[in-house]
Amino acid sequence: MMKMDFNPCHWRVLTALLCLAMPLTLLATDVVVADANGNELTYSYDSADGPATFKGVKRYADDKNKAGRIIIADRVTDTNGVSHEVKYVSGSVSNRGNLVSIVFGQNIVATGGPDGSKSDAFSGCNQLESVTLNAKLETLGTYTFLNCYNLASINLGDCKKLTTIKASAIEDCDYVRSITIPASVTTIEKNAFYSIDSLRTVTFATGSQLQNMGGEGTFRDCLKLESVMTMASTC
């Protein structure tokens, strides 16, 4: 058998050729952008021109009347001047404990990552009072607002592209009194609205496309729930 000897120079050349043949993988990069209220928010992007993810609060505004009232950006610009659409909210948003209100950027399509499977996006935000969602949201991820005990206002009915409400997405949000489920929703997973103490009415929009609902646990222990109804058509 012929024996082939490679000296160090040969190995360096071979390694260089292999590196040229392999696609480059960019690591996630963070950028910090202040919102209109002065809260400094952290976003990440995984490719040079790909979408961005809202990751958390780096620093709250100095103005006590604006601190914790965050406005998630529609787009962010990286250090190279490239603009990225903010399409996702990550799981377990960092430094979220002092949030008072959240306004979603207009391009967000999912909480809990692209498929909504990363849990706890805003869970346990005990000071959170209101959430303004957007028209493009498609997936409300697992445990997104779990145990946000003071949350009283959330506009699900305005999310005309929402298809999936994942497990325990709005569980234990004790002050929510009414919920409208958009017609576009096809799946509501288990315990999505479990134990909402003040919930009185649930309305399914006209033309509801609901196919899967997570059993009795969906509205379990909503002890003040008086009615579940379908919105009357105005046609």
Is residue 113, in this structure, part of any structural domain at all? yes
Per-residue pLDDT of the chain (235 residues; tens, 9 = 90+): 445 454 555 545 444 444 444 444 445 799 999 999 999 999 999 888 899 999 999 999 999 999 999 999 999 999 899 999 999 999 999 999 999 999 999 999 999 999 999 999 999 999 999 999 999 999 999 999 999 999 999 999 999 999 999 999 999 999 999 999 999 999 999 999 999 999 999 999 999 999 999 876 899 999 999 998 887 544 3
Beta strands in the chain (DSSP E): 29-34, 40-45, 52-59, 69-71, 75-77, 83-94, 101-103, 110-111, 130-132, 139-140, 153-154, 164-165, 178-181, 187-188, 201-204, 212-213, 227-230
For position 125, which CATH number holds?
A: 3.80.10.10
pLDDT at 217: 82
Is residue 2, in this structure, part of any structural domain at all? no
pLDDT at 19: 46
Locus of tokens 């105005």: 234
Stated pTM of the model: 0.86
Is residue 92, in this structure, part of any structural domain at all? yes
Is residue 11, in this structure, part of any structural domain at all? no
Burial 45-59 (b: 16+ CB within 10 A, else e): beeeeebbbbbbbee
pLDDT at 235: 33
* Structural domain of 175: 80-230
Is residue 124, in this structure, part of any structural domain at all? yes
pLDDT at 233: 47
Instruction: Residue 198: name the closest of 225, 218, 216, 179 by CA.
Output: 225
Number of domains in the chain: 1
Is residue 99, in this structure, part of any structural domain at all? yes
pLDDT at 28: 72
pLDDT at 18: 45
Is residue 175, in this structure, part of any structural domain at all? yes
